[in-house]
Amino acid sequence: MMSIKITTEPVIETAYSVSTNSYPIDTIRKDFPILSTELRGRKLVYLDNAATTQKPRQVIEALTAYYEKENANIHRGVHYLSEQATLKYEQARHKVKEFIKAGVNCEIIFTKGATESINLVAQSYGRAFIRPGDEILISTLEHHSNIVPWQMLCQEKGAVLRVIPMLDSGDLDMEAFDRLLTAKTKIVAVTQLSNVTGTLVPVREMCRKARDLGAVTLVDGAQSTPHLPIDVQEMGADFFVFSAHKLYGPTGVGVLYGRAELLEAMPPWLGGGNMIRSVSFEKTTYADLPDKFEAGTPDIGGVIGLGAAIDYLQDIGLERISQYEEMLTDYACARLELVEGLQIQGSPRARRGVISFTLDCVHPHDIGQLLDQDGIAIRAGHHCAQPLMQRLGVPATARLSLGLYNTAEEIDYVALRLQHSRKLFLS
């Protein structure tokens, strides 16, 4: 049993503390080799987890073991290596299914990332079922990956894109959602957690209301999946997407969950090997799910690495991670608010893991570069959410985003260095 001791200096005083009772933070941090890296003589403080997370030794070892001992193509080979690779690839699919509580394994489609997963739905389901005059409903909080594919589809099909506005707090305007959701709405595509404000969106309520009116829902879980236990059936989402690299897994791998009846009704998006039942020059018939949407050789090692990442998270305990990160998010907000001249963007009712801010007299890019000199990695820019930046009335923000290995001491250090940076610019 232990609790983190908060070191304060005269610049910032705080009465807040973060309890780590039952949360093995020291053991967790030792699992991530990169956290022992020194940058410019200072130990790395990594707070750019919304962009990509670091990888535990267990994931790195799973990737190495595949390439050293089991490297082969999957599904088509009859030799030992191919059978082993296929077994581990399909075991990873089952792990994903259990992780997000899907119904059956075939509802899990592996892609290159959340972006490709959204595009798959837009280009396959959208092209097949969207008609001129239909409406697609998204929100102000969306990442470009959940805006641009729907714009492209609307331009092609003559559909109309509607946008749920955001309140000044950073929450979605749910009264406006109720007005915008009509019989014309055919797709509702929303994030579960904003990559800018950290807003947790009431996706369960939105999915229920959309389904009552006959609309199909897609939930972007790229940001939420690392922070929250996910149950797609309880959520009521028709489609759910996320990326491995934000979930402590490898880059280049993503997941599309779709209800089996919808996936079966959708035409293939990419053609090639493995997604066929038979091919002749006259006609091609397609394979059953999930193969119909997995043309070509996938990132086999990456999928196996995703399986290892899921094992790692479940060994720690998803509820325990979520509770710790909720406390750490609250602490970070309280600590940053004590920095003179700092303004946190948005104050949503529920926030998790992501805090964007501005600092008077200091451009966000300068904040990022100054903190980098102290070994601190954060993000600065528009975060692939330019419409949201316009709504906030800023061209860019600095963004601190938390992971399961971050600590209150790191947040204290960032707050102190931000105060110092402001003094440098004012002097």
- Three-state SS across 344-412? ECCCCCCECCEEEEEECCECHHHHHHHHHCCCEECEEECCCCHHHHHHHCCCCEEEEECCCCCCHHHHH
What pLDDT is recorded for position 14? 42
Alpha-carbon span 295 to 315, nearest angstrom: 32
What pLDDT is recorded for position 20? 61
CB atoms within 10 A of CB 175: 10
CATH number among 3.30.70.870, 3.40.50.720, 3.90.1150.10, 3.30.365.10, domain 25-47+317-426: 3.90.1150.10
* Ranges for all domains in the chain classified under CATH 3.40.640.10: 59-314
Cβ(217)–Cβ(236) below 8 Å: yes
Helix-then-strand count for the chain, H and E = 15, 17
What pLDDT is recorded for position 18? 54
Q: Which long-range contacts (CB under 8 A, 24 or more apart) does 76-83 make?
A: 76/273, 76/274
Closest CA to 139 of 394, 400, 385, 354: 385
Alpha-carbon span 275 to 297, nearest angstrom: 11
> Hey, which residues does 48 pair with through a beta bridge?
401
What pLDDT is recorded for position 40? 84
Residue whose token pair is 């559909």: 159
Q: 375 in helix, strand or coil?
A: coil
Instruction: Give the DSSP letter string of 327-357.
Output: HHHHHHHHHHTTSTTEEES---SSB-SEEEE
Q: What parts of the chain have a pLDDT lower than 50? A: 1-16
Q: What are residue 356's phi and psi, to 5 degrees?
A: -105, 145
> Hey, which residues does 200 pair with through a beta bridge?
193
Q: What is the pLDDT of residues 203-226, one digit of tens each?
A: 999 999 999 999 999 999 999 999
Alpha-carbon span 225 to 248, nearest angstrom: 11
The catalytic residue positions are: 384
CB atoms within 10 A of CB 347: 14
CATH 1.10.10.10 fits 59-314, yes or no: no
Largest Cα separation within the chain, whole Å, is 78
DSSP 37: -
Q: 125 in helix, strand or coil?
A: helix
Closest CA to 357 of 329, 326, 333: 333
* Ranges for all domains in the chain classified under CATH 3.90.1150.10: 25-47+317-426
Angle subtended at Cα 16 by Cα 336 and Cα 35, rounded to the nearest 5 degrees: 65
* Whole-structure pTM value: 0.95
Q: 232 in helix, strand or coil?
A: helix
Give the start-end residues of each E strand in 146-283. Answer: 160-164, 185-191, 216-220, 239-243, 254-258, 276-279
